[in-house]
Amino acid sequence: MIIDNGDPGTSYTGSWSVSSAAGWYGTESLWSRDGSIYRWAFTPSVSGSYNVAMWWTEWSSRSTSVPVIIEHAAGSTPVTINQRLNGSRWNSLGVFNFRAGTRYQIRITAQPGPSSTCADAVQITPASPPSPTELMFIFPGYASIDATADLSSLLRDMGAIEESGAWKYRISAQNKDVEIRIGNSIEEMNQALMTEDAHVLYFGHSNYGLGALFATPSEFSSQVVDDILFIDDDRIFNYSSEWVHVNIRGMRTGQAYPFWWPIFKDGSSGIMPYDFGDPLGDPVFNYYVTYQVPGDPTHYKIENVRHGAIERFPDWGGPAWYSPNGSKPNSSNPEDQQYFITNPEPWEPSVEVIGGWQESKTFTGY
C-alpha cells in the first residue's frame, strides 16, 4: 500500500506548497514550516505486522529533526527523521502491528523556519514473516533404559545445538527451525499437551495403559519402582480412562509387577465390570482415542505413525466406538452393546496353601 500526497486518505493543516526539489515520488512533493501537519490515513484489510516507510525529497533547508507519529494497534510511536539525507528513496520507520478494519494515521509535523519539512509518500508493506519454528517436546519416561543421554547424543549428531535448556535444529530444505525441549515430570508434560501446535513424544511404558511415569536415576539403574501401589497413583500421569488392561491374567503373571492387583487408592477394585447388570456398573467400552481443536466441537481420531486410529483396548479384539460429537455408546441399545467389553466368566484364582505360602494355581478367565 502506497499513499502519495494528494491521494484519498491524506489531509493536512497549515499551508503546504509544491517543492522544487527533484526526486519526488509520483508527481510532486510538498513542503511547509511552522507546525503544519500532513496526515496519511489507511485501513488494513488483514491484521498483522507491517513495515512503514516514508519517501521525501532533500533540500538545503530541510530540517534534520522532523517528528513523525505512527499510530498502530498498541498505541502510537514517535520517530524522528533527518530530511537532509536519504532523499528520493523508501526509508523504513519501523515494523508495527495493525488490526484489520481499523483506521490508522501517520502524521508529520513541519518544523519552525527557516528550516523546511517535506511531505511526499508513505508505504505500508507486510513485514517479512520469520522462518517457521516447530516446537517439539520429548519425554523419556520409565523404560528399560533412561533415554535422556541417548536422545541428547542423537540430537547432537544431527547437528542440533543446545541453548538455554532447549535444542535448536535447522531443516534447511524446508526453511524451518525446530526447537526441542526434553522434560521429565508430569507438570512439564501436562503443559506440553496444552501447548497449541506442539509435537509431544513420550518414550516409555504405558503403565497398564493409563499413562506416563517418570523415574528417578536410581530407579532407572535398578529397574525397580517400589512405591507404585495403585492404578490411580499420583506418580502416574493418567491421560486415559481409569480402567486397566483387559487381560487380567497376563497383567497378573506376565509382567514385571508379579501378582499385582488392580486397586484404586480408595480401596475399590480396578477390574472392569464383567457384564451388563454388574453391580459395579456397565462394562467398559472400547473406543478410538480422540482430541479436539480449541473452538471446534468435532472429536478427531488420534493416529499412530502409520496413520491408523488408536484404540484404547486394541487387544480386546472387538470393534471400537467413535462419535464425532463425543457422545458415548448406550449400554441399553443392542446395536451399541458390541462396543462393550464383557466376559460372562469372571477371572478368579484358586488358592493352594503350600508350606505356609499361598500361590495362584489356576485361572478360569479374565
**Cell digits of residue 174:** 524446508
Instruction: Band the pLDDT of 274: cuts 50, 70, 90.
Output: confident
Q: What is the pLDDT of residues 135-151, one digit of tens each?
A: 999 999 999 999 999 99
Average pLDDT over residues 89-96: 94
pLDDT of residue 358: 45
Q: What is the pTM of this model?
A: 0.54
Which alpha helices (H) appear in the chain, and where do they start and end? 148-158, 186-193, 217-222, 248-253
**Cell digits of residue 83:** 530530511
Residue 270 or 324, more confident: 324
C-beta separation of 104 from 9 below 8 A:
no
Q: What is the DSSP string of 85-125?
A: SS-SS-EEEEEEEE-TT--EEEEEEPPPTTSBEEE-EEEEE
pLDDT of residue 359: 45
Beta-carbon contacts of 112 under 8 Å, excluding residues fewer than 6 positions away, are: 33, 34, 35
C-beta separation of 3 from 25 below 8 A:
no
User: What whole-number distance in Å separates Cα of residue 163 and Cα of residue 24?
Assistant: 48
Residue 61: is it exposed, middle or buried by C-beta count within 10 angstroms (0-12/13-18/19+)? middle
Provide the residue ranges of all domains of the chain, joining segments of one domain with +: 2-126, 130-239
Instruction: Band the pLDDT of 117: cuts 50, 70, 90.
Output: very high
Residue 359's CB is within 10 A of a number of other CB atoms, namely 10
Is cis: bond before 319, omega within 30 of 0? no
CATH assignment of 2-126? Answer: 2.60.120.260
